[in-house]
């Protein structure tokens, strides 16, 4: 029965990570070097009043020659955040993080 509980928490962690909004990958021309004009950005938190998105640069100092490369990098950064959250939620010492996301404080043991 304990392995069923572990499987259940794994599925719940996957649901939490899937439902969390990490933003969407995008790219813009902000690079200072003409050979690498595109910078990867992540758009999040749309403001309907102003019609603008809040953005963040997942890694400063990195620019790309094509928009597709910048988009792929931004998506890679989002995927890394998803993996990191899933890993942290499955780590026993992150009790408060699990509670914050509506998961049980303690992980079931096998």
Arithmetic mean of pLDDT, 8-12 = 89
Ordered by start, the domain boundaries in the chain are 2-6+22-100
In sequence order, what are the beta bridge partners of 9?
none
For the cut 90, the answer to whether the pLDDT of residue 22 exceeds it is yes
Rounded mean pLDDT of the chain? 89
b/e code 15-52 from CB counts within 10 Å (16+ = b): ebbeeeeebebbbeeebeeeeebbbbbbbeeeeeeeee
Model confidence band, residue 110 (pLDDT cutoffs 50, 70, 90):
low
Arithmetic mean of pLDDT, 57-64 = 89
Cβ proximity of 25 and 8 under 8 Å: no
Helix (H, G, I), strand (E, B) or coil at 56: strand
């Amino acid at each position: 029965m304990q392995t069923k509980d572990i499987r259940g928490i794994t599925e719940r962690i996957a649901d939490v990570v899937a439902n969390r909004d990490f933003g969407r990958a995008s790219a813009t021309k902000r690079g200072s070097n003409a050979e690498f004009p595109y910078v990867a950005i992540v758009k999040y938190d749309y403001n309907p009043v102003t019609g603008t998105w809040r953005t963040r640069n997942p890694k400063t100092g990195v620019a790309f020659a094509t928009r597709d490369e910048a988009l792929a990098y931004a998506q890679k950064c989002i995927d890394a955040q998803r993996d990191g959250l899933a890993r942290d939620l499955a780590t026993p010492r992150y009790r408060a993080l699990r509670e914050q996301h509506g998961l049980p404080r303690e992980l079931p043991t096998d």
